[in-house]
Amino acid sequence: MLKLYQFERTWGIPNLSPFCCKIETYLRMAEIDYEIKPALPLGAPKGKLPYIEDNGQALGDSRFIIAHLKSAHKDLDEGLSEEESALSTAMQRLLEEHLFWVALYSRWQYTDENWQVNKQAIFGGLPPIIREIVANGWRRKIKRQILGHGTGRHQAEEIFALGKQDIDALSASLGNKPYFLGEQPSTLDTSAFGLLINIIGCPIESPLKEYGLAKDNLVNYADRIGREFYPDLRST
């Protein structure tokens, strides 16, 4: 059986990593059997979570994992037109290469309160002294990444203004449709749900979360996917 290596569940959502959530949501939408293996990034193929093991092959990075799932199991996008496929790629880039960094800033840098919540969720299982050393080391590393990406070079209000533009684009694109590309879920939905639930559905407070919660269609969308594909989380 396919094995999915990801962070422990916390906060009542599928995963605190948008990318782990993305992969598990794809597996559930595509009805692919899998087994969860709680893990930390140490030893992962590309030094990050999630990664999978399938038929003796270890794969990292959500984009390559999904390419494998499409070819070896089920392709959620097989019915998309060329125009829809292009829109899917563009919207996933907005989510994963821009909005993600605003969410990351919210957790690791914006306020100390958010950092403490984030630290406990990720590193809470470690012994206290080791936890502080490891967590603070990772925080320095993530803050350097945010700076290197460019997001960290702006003021907080500027960062959240850019994030709000992405939320506006997502809300307008979704409209009243059940899924971003119509009546059936696609890979775009796995990415959108993974990031949205990690913005509006977790105890990390920020202007980005407040703005997302004001978009009724996005809130209803995330809640509907949670009910449909994660009923087991609703009952615990």
Can you give the pLDDT at residue 64? 97
Provide the sign of the torsion angle of the four alpha carbons 158, 160, 163, 169, taken in this order.
negative
Can you give the pLDDT at residue 235? 52
Q: How confident is the model at residue 42 (pLDDT cuts 50, 70, 90)?
A: confident
Can you give the pLDDT at residue 236? 44
CATH 1.20.1050.10 location in the chain: 82-234
Can you give the pLDDT at residue 43? 81
Can you give the pLDDT at residue 156? 98
Indicate the SS3 state at residue 111.
coil
- Residues 6+ positions from 31 with CB-CB distance below 8 Å: 74
Can you give the pLDDT at residue 166? 98
Mean per-residue pLDDT, 46-56: 94
For residue 194, the tally of other CB atoms under 10 A from its CB is 28
Can you give the pLDDT at residue 69? 98
Q: Is 115 a residue whose pLDDT tops 50? A: yes
For residue 152, the tally of other CB atoms under 10 A from its CB is 18
In whole angstroms, how far apart are CA 144 and each of 82, 152, 163?
38, 8, 19
Q: Is 84 a residue whose pLDDT tops 90? A: yes
CATH 3.40.30.10 location in the chain: 2-72
For residue 170, the tally of other CB atoms under 10 A from its CB is 22
In CATH, what number does 2-72 get? Answer: 3.40.30.10
Q: What would the pLDDT profile of 169-220 be if each residue is shown by its tens digit?
A: 999 999 999 999 999 999 999 999 999 999 999 999 999 999 999 999 999 9
Can you give the pLDDT at residue 41? 86
Give φ, ψ of 55 to 5 degrees.
55, 45
- Strand 34-38 and strand 57-60: pairing? unpaired
Structure token pair of residue 17: 């990593």
127 burial class (0-12, 13-18, 19+ CB within 10 angstroms)? exposed
Mean pLDDT, the chain, integer: 96
Per the document, the length of the chain is 236
Mean per-residue pLDDT, 66-88: 97
Fold topology of 82-234: Glutathione S-transferase Yfyf (Class Pi); Chain A, domain 2 (1.20.1050)
Q: What would the pLDDT profile of 117-137 be if each residue is shown by its tens digit?
A: 999 999 998 999 899 999 999
In whole angstroms, how far apart are CA 232 and each of 12, 32, 61, 235?
11, 16, 26, 5
Mean per-residue pLDDT, 46-73: 96
